[in-house]
């Protein structure tokens, strides 16, 4: 009777009708192990009993393993007699398989490449849907190591088949197969950038980019649960920069790189220096060292940063020439920690320094007043680890984006320069530069978010209520988020687009997330302030814009415009005019200047600015403008309407 051995998923023997056939599990495992050797060597040579026993029970110096093997052989031989077939042949010293006595799904992996590339991939996907030996009750260390190695080998076979099949994929059915294979690999290797690129392009070709975003988010949340470090979107932006310059091939997608391009950069190295300060005795100084060690252990679970061990970190901290040691050990980031007495409250001050540029990229003071360090040490460690992992990842993500394609980055910088100048010629020049950046790297997230901004600014400057511009702004913001959900700029542009589309609550939500992703991202905070003005929360808006200005003291024009708008809504008309007067180019705020002068009773200046607006926008209509500018509460529209009417519009 010809039997079939299934090894992917549940390990079992079945007959030709598909019914399970009872057989000792150790016997089936031995068949898989020996079959793998047979497929590699091409010969059914005898395998020593002692070696098989060590593989199955993992006890080199335990005499019981041979007794275990003899009992297992006895059960296997008895069962083979009942079945009337011989799968394993035993001698006094060894064992071998009879590969012609059964069929096995493993044979599918060893078939010669007679099929076409797509057919081979389809066959492999069908076999590899489940993990090899996914359900196995009793495993020795040797067994576990062998199974892990087999799974890696199977994934390598699938990756190679996927790479070979990619150039031939043209139809919708082919793309679906490519996507299924990539999803299978993604399950085991969610950080593989080539697989992410394939998935993203497959979803994009099907018009399902949002599904890709959900998939990557789910992968991130799964890792968060596994780590139990409480990582949020700040700690792990799962989608990396994966499209470093792509030209569209004649097929649906292009194969992953052979590695002939730029070599992947090694993981950044991070050292957490044990805290100094507060020499007084007590639990706080005594436990601060273990606290930082807890943070170190938590970060060791990540695959995005290499953490220097606490022993080496302590030696670096004690060394008089820390900078030399940091350079010698190729350390990228240093977390400097210090216990301080801040206004009578015990605090842990931490600052993250990028060693290459001697740049402080994050600093925070953690109050320890409400914590008992003995019982809450792990909670504090998780808070610091979460924040620290996020800051390193964001900094590295930006470096990856910028260093991955210098041509794209050069065009991006040109666009960034021009988009800050609030005039239509500059905005259109900026758009051209961002598009050139995307020609070099089609999924360069900073350029996608920059392109979104150009459509938003043009919508504001023209004041024509062109919904197509807002639609384009929203579309490119969403593309930026899909390309890199850890980049605050994408959420910033989405929030601004949602604002002018009238979705004020969604706008506030997106910009709140942008602020969480980039708590020191001044431009994002400034946009948040602008949205709060439109959400009829001018006092909150003023506080936000003051925070943005403190982060960016030589403030660009739009910061001051937002501050002026918040002051206008609060009835602080003179303060609003003071903000406008500080703008390098006051022309974009001429409408607001006219409104402020009118509300102050200065008709002469109000009419002066009204005429300036008419010269640039002769068709400007107050009611039409107010119908497209969103305000959550009606009082703001009435305030503007009254002010503009007084000014002569």
- Within 10 A of 604 (CB to CB), how many other CB atoms are there? 7
Residue 211, CB half-sphere, CA atoms under 13 Å: how many? 12
Strands 333-342 vs 269-272: parallel, antiparallel or unpaired: parallel
Q: Which of 7-11, 228-232, 307-311, 602-606 has the lowest mean pLDDT?
A: 228-232
Q: How confident is the model at residue 227 (pLDDT cuts 50, 70, 90)?
A: very low
551 bridge partner residues: none
Whole-model pTM? Answer: 0.44
**Residues 70-128: pLDDT tens digits?**
999 999 999 999 999 999 999 888 898 988 889 998 888 877 666 788 888 888 988 88
253 Cβ contact partners less than 8 Å away, ≥ 6 residues apart: 166, 169, 175, 178, 198, 201, 202, 205
Distance, CA of 127 to CA of 241 (rounded, Å): 31
pLDDT digits (tens, 9 = 90+) for 387-401: 677 667 666 655 555
Distance, CA of 86 to CA of 185 (rounded, Å): 36
Q: DSSP secondary structure string, 586-608? A: -GGGHHHHHHHHHHTT-HHHHHH
From CA 242, how far away is CA 197, in angstroms rounded? 6
Contacts of 325 (CB under 8 A, 6+ apart): 315, 316, 319
534 Rama class: left (phi>0) / alpha (psi -120 to 50) / beta: alpha
**8 Å CB contact between 453 and 471:** no
Confidence of residue 453 (pLDDT cuts 50, 70, 90): very high
pLDDT at 233 over 80: no
The DSSP line for 205-265 is HTT-HHHHHHHHHHHHHHHHHHHTS---TTT--------SS----SSSS-PPP-S-SSPPP
Furthest C-alpha separation in the chain:
112
- Looking at domain 269-398, which of 3.40.50.10070, 3.90.600.10, 3.10.20.740, 3.40.50.720 is its CATH number? 3.40.50.10070
Instruction: Specify the CATH number of the domain 3-110.
Output: 1.10.10.10
150/131 Cα distance (integer angstroms): 10
Query: DSSP secondary-structure letter at 101?
Result: G
More confident site: 25 or 323: 25
Report yes or no: 305 and 270 within 8 Å, Cβ to Cβ. Answer: yes
Please give the pLDDT value at position 262. 44
Q: What is the pLDDT of residues 411-431, one digit of tens each?
A: 877 887 788 777 888 999 999
In terms of DSSP bridges, do strands 306-307 and 88-90 run parallel, antiparallel, or are they unpaired?
A: unpaired
Q: How far is it, in rounded angstroms, from Cα 343 to Cα 541?
A: 29
Residue of 207 and 29 predicted with greater confidence: 29
Give 423-429 contacts, CB < 8 A, sequence gap 24+.
Answer: 423/461, 423/585, 423/587, 424/458, 424/461, 424/462, 427/454, 427/457, 427/458, 427/461, 428/454, 428/458
């Amino acid at each position: 009777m010809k039997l079939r051995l299934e090894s992917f998923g549940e390990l079992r023997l079945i007959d030709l009708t598909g019914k399970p056939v009872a057989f000792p599990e150790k016997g089936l495992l031995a068949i898989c192990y020996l079959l793998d050797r047979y497929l590699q060597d091409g010969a059914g040579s005898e395998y020593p009993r002692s070696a098989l026993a060590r593989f199955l029970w993992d006890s080199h110096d335990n005499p019981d393993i041979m007794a275990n093997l003899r009992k297992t052989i006895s059960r296997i031989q008895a069962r083979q007699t009942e079945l009337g077939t011989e799968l394993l042949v035993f001698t006094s010293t060894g064992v071998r398989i009879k590969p012609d006595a059964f069929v096995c799904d493993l044979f599918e992996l060893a078939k010669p490449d007679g099929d076409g590339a797509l057919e081979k991939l389809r066959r492999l996907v069908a076999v590899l849907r489940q993990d090899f030996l996914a359900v196995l009750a009793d495993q020795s260390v040797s067994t576990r190591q062998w199974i892990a190695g087999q799974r890696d080998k199977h994934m390598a076979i699938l990756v190679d088949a996927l790479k070979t099949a990619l150039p031939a994929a043209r139809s919708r059915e082919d793309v679906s197969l490519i996507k299924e294979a990539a999803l299978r690999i993604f399950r085991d290797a969610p950080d593989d950038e080539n697989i992410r690129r394939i998935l993203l392009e497959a979803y994009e070709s099907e018009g399902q980019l949002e599904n890709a975003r959900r998939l990557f988010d789910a992968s991130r949340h799964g890792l968060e649960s596994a780590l139990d470090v409480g990582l949020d979107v700040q700690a792990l932006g799962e989608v990396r920069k994966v499209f470093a310059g792509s030209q569209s091939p004649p097929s649906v997608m292009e194969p992953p790189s052979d590695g002939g391009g730029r070599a992947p950069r090694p993981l950044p190295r991070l050292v957490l220096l044990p805290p100094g300060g507060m020499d007084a005795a007590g639990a706080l100084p005594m436990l601060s060292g273990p606290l930082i060690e807890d943070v170190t252990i938590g970060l060791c679970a990540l695959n995005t940063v290499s953490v220097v061990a606490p022993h080496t970190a302590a030696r670096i901290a004690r060394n008089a020439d820390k900078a030399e040691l940091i350079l010698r050990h190729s350390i990228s980031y240093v977390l400097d920690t210090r216990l301080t007495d801040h206004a009578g409250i015990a605090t842990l001050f931490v600052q993250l320094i990028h060693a290459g540029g001697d740049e402080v990229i994050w600093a925070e003071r953690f109050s320890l007043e409400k914590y008992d360090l003995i019982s809450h040490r792990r909670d504090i460690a998780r808070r610091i680890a979460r924040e620290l992992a996020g800051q390193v990842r964001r900094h590295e993500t930006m470096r990856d984006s910028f260093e991955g394609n210098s041509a794209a980055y050069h065009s991006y910088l040109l666009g960034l320069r021009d988009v800050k100048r609030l005039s239509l010629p500059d905005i259109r020049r900026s758009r051209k530069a961002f598009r050139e950046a995307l020609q070099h790297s089609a999924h360069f997230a900073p350029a996608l978010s920059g392109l979104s901004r150009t459509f938003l600014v043009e919508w504001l400057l023209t004041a024509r209520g062109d919904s197509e511009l807002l639609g384009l702004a929203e579309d490119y913001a969403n593309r930026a988020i899909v390309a890199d959900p850890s980049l605050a700029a994408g959420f910033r542009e989405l929030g601004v687009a949602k604002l002018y589309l009238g979705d004020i609550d969604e706008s506030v939500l997106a910009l709140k997330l942008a602020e969480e992703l980039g708590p020191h991202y001044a431009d994002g905070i400034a946009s948040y302030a602008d949205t709060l003005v439109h959400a009829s929360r001018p006092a909150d808006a003023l506080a936000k814009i003051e925070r943005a200005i403190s982060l960016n003291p030589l403030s660009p024009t739009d910061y001051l415009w937002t501050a002026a708008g918040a002051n206008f809504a609060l009835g602080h008309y003179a303060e609003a005019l003071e903000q406008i007067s500080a703008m390098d180019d006051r022309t974009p705020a001429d409408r607001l200047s006219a409104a402020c002068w009118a509300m102050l009773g200065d008709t002469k200046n109000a009419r002066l600015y009204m005429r300036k607006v008419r010269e640039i926008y002769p068709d400007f209509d107050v009611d039409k403008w107010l119908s497209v500018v969103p305000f959550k509460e009606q009082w703001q529209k009435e305030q503007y309407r009254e002010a503009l009417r007084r000014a002569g519009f």
